[in-house]
Amino acid sequence: MPVNKKTTLKDIAEKLNITVATVSRAMSNHPDISQRIKDQVKLLAETLNYRPNSFALHLRKQRSGMIGIILPKIIHYHSSTILSGVILAAHDLKYQVMICESGSTPDEEKNNAWALLNAGVDGLLVSLSNNTFSETHFSDMQNEGIPIVFFDKVPNSFIASKVSTNDYTGAFIATEHLIEQGYKNIAHLKGQIGARNSEPRFRGYMDALQKHHLEANQAFVYECLYCTEEEGFDAAQKLLKKRVRPDSFFCVNDETAIGVLAAMRQMNISVPGEVGVVGFCNLKAGAYMNPSLSTVDQAGIEIGKKAAAVLIDMIEHKADPNCPDYKHTIIEPQLIIRESSRKQQPIIAGKRKALQKQ
């Protein structure tokens, strides 16, 4: 493997018998430099394959043009969608993205944050793990003047820039949709009390019931610990064995909703005829199910784009005295109606339906 030393401004200067300063100015099209020199320099730079040394640039500017992102788990569909959005916006603004995965452990999250800062990122994008209850290290960083934007899973009790889905309205429109389809006894598979998105989704569900004068039945709210398909499966079976049965499920996420669908299949209960189901997240898998799963889409790309844009704005206006205050951007989610909740329209068997996606 050849180890050709990279060309530097010095190399060019020596070959042309001028100083590095002149070369530097020529490369950046400084008006003082004669066209002749500029041409010479640029030609030589080209032929020698000159590329500026980023390390020197970073040191000089005390800026790297890199932002760091910390995610609980990359494989989650929602996370990787957000990541895509972040990268898009960052590249547009000439920033690169460095990535870490916390695996939902607060310690890793903290280590990741410091590792990214030590690697030289100009700012941090953070989606908190569900298990992070103390955000003091992040407030320390903020106080040091490090720009941080929280996204998706954002801290409640902590003043900072944030970008997140409106979980409340997402849950509200999903529940309202079930009501409009004629379902009356709507159960809710709820997330863990501690989990960041569970509470607003629960409130959205409750408020939609209230708006439409439906009584909220405590027995129809089932708390899931891990929000897996298995829990959804179990929950659905338990709830349907009660004397008063629910006729539909609004689930805190698509995994549990998929579990509900499996339970319905096993119990020979028709969906959406007898029971309606709506999830939350718009997993790819939902579109493939039979019946396909209605859900709430969180516009991950938008969340990512916005979070990156806010962060980079903070980075570039750090010294600005009238620097904008921390702001919380709320992205509105969108209801995706598929077969699992469409009671009102007959289901047309066939390809179009079988493969319907969005």
Partner DNA sequence: GTGAAAGCGCTAACAA
Partner DNA sequence: TTGTTAGCGCTTTCAC
Give the interface with DNA as residue ranges (CB under 7 A): 5-6, 8-10, 17-22, 24-25, 27-28, 30, 32-34, 36-37, 50, 52-53, 55-57, 59-60, 62
Residue 243 interacting entry, from a copy of itself, DNA, none, C-beta within 5 to 8 Å by type: none
- Residue 78's nearest CA partner among 199, 266, 255 is 255
Task: Note whether 195 binds a copy of itself by CB under 8 A.
Answer: no
Residues ≥6 apart with Cβ < 8 Å to 285: 254, 258, 293
Binding residues for a copy of itself, rule CB under 8 A, total 69
E strands within 28-76? 66-71
Q: φ and ψ at 243, to 5 degrees?
A: -65, -45
Structural tokens at position 170 = 């997402």
Shortest CA distance to 296 belongs to which of 207, 183, 191, 175?
A: 175
How many Cβ atoms are within 10 Å of 318's Cβ, its own excluded? 14
Q: Judged by CB under 8 A, which stretch of 31-39, 167-175, 218-226, 254-262 contacts a copy of itself?
A: 254-262
Q: How far is the CB of 298 from DNA (least distance, A)?
A: 41
Q: Which stretch binds a copy of itself (CB under 8 A): 174-182, 213-221, 311-319, 339-347?
A: 311-319
Q: Which two tokens stand for residue 232?
A: 């959804």
Indicate which of DNA, a copy of itself, none lies near residue 98 (CB less than 5 to 8 Å, by partner kind): a copy of itself
Return the CA Rg of the chain: 27
Nearer to DNA, 12 or 309 (CB): 12
The answer to the question of residue 120 lying near a copy of itself (CB under 8 A) is: yes
Kindly state the smallest distance separating residue 318's Cβ from DNA, in Å: 15
Residue 65 backbone phi and psi in degrees, to 5: 70, 25
β-sheet bridge partners, residue 149: 125, 161
CB of 169 to a copy of itself, least distance (A): 25
Q: Which residues within the stretch 99-118 sit at the binding site for a copy of itself (CB under 8 A)?
A: 99-101, 115-118
150 forms beta bridges with 126, 162
Beta strands of 139-273 (E only): which ranges?
148-151, 161-165, 186-190, 221-223, 248-251
CB of 266 to a copy of itself, least distance (A): 6
46 binding a copy of itself? (CB under 8 A): no
Distance CA 153, CA 89 (A): 20
Q: Which residues pair with 313 in a beta bridge?
A: none
The entry of a copy of itself, DNA, none that residue 144 binds, CB within 5 to 8 Å by partner kind: a copy of itself
Judged by CB under 8 A, the chain residues 164 through 183 that form the site for a copy of itself are none
To a copy of itself, the closest distance from the beta carbon of 184 in angstroms equals 27
Residue 358 interacting with a copy of itself (CB under 8 A): no
Give burial (CB, 10 Å; 0-12/13-18/19+) of 316: middle
- Looking up tokens 């042309």 gives 16
Residues that bind a copy of itself (CB under 8 A): 1-4, 6, 49, 51-56, 58-59, 62, 64-66, 74-75, 77, 80-81, 83-84, 87-88, 91, 96-101, 115-120, 142-145, 147, 229-230, 233, 258-259, 262-263, 265-266, 283-285, 288-290, 314, 318-319, 323, 349-351, 354-355
